[in-house]
Structure 1
Amino acid sequence: MIRHLVLFKLDEGVERDDPRVAAGDAAFRALGGQIEELRFWECGWNVSDRPIAYDYAINSAVEDTDALRRYIEHPAHQAGVALWREFATWVIADYEF
């Protein structure tokens, strides 16, 4: 199994109540039911106010690197990424467990 973690940081001046952010959140929340390669899916807003904290996280799992590639290339995933690209940056980690 591969764990796929993504941490998002909203761009300067962008707030959670921005309609673009709401659309991005909704798009990512829906992915768990749209992409069959996902074995585990959760996402949500960070509750920490520490200065080093990111704003939003995705925690997911897929079977193997082929499934990860199919997930990344899936049109629903690509559509969500396109939304987030408008107002955030992110870092990822993919590791076997």
Structure 2
Amino acid sequence: MIRHLVLFKLNEGVSRDEERVVAGVKAFQELDGVVPELTFWECAWNITDRPIAHDFAINSAVADRDALTRYLEHPAHQAAAARWREFATWVIADYEF
């Protein structure tokens, strides 16, 4: 199994309640059940307010590296990520467990 973690940081001046951000969150929430490679999926806003904290997180899992590639290339994932490129930066970690 591979864990796929993503932490998003909203760009300066961007707020959570902006229409494009709300749409971006919805796009990621809707990946659950749409991408068959995902064996686990959750995403949510960070609940703490610390200078080093990121704003939004995805915690997901896939069976193997091939499944990870198919997930990353899936049109629904590509569309959701494209929305976030407009207003955030992110870091990822993929590890086997």
SS at match of 2:33: coil
Give, as a single letter, the amino acid of the residue that structure 2 aligns with 1:72: L
Describe the superposition over 1:7-50 as per-residue Cα deviations: whole angstroms up to 9, x where unpaired.
00000000000100000000000001100000000000000101
Moved over 4 A (4+): none
Name the counterpart of 2:8. Answer: 8
TM-score, scaled to structure 1: 0.99
User: What is the RMSD of the two structures over their aligned residues, measured on CA atoms?
Assistant: 0.3
Matches within 5 A, 1:1-97: 1-97=1-97
Which sections of structure 2, spanning at least 5 residues, go unmatched?
none
Which structure 1 residue ranges, 5 or more long, are not aligned? none
Task: Calculate the TM-score normalised by the size of structure 2.
Answer: 0.99
Total equivalences in the alignment: 97
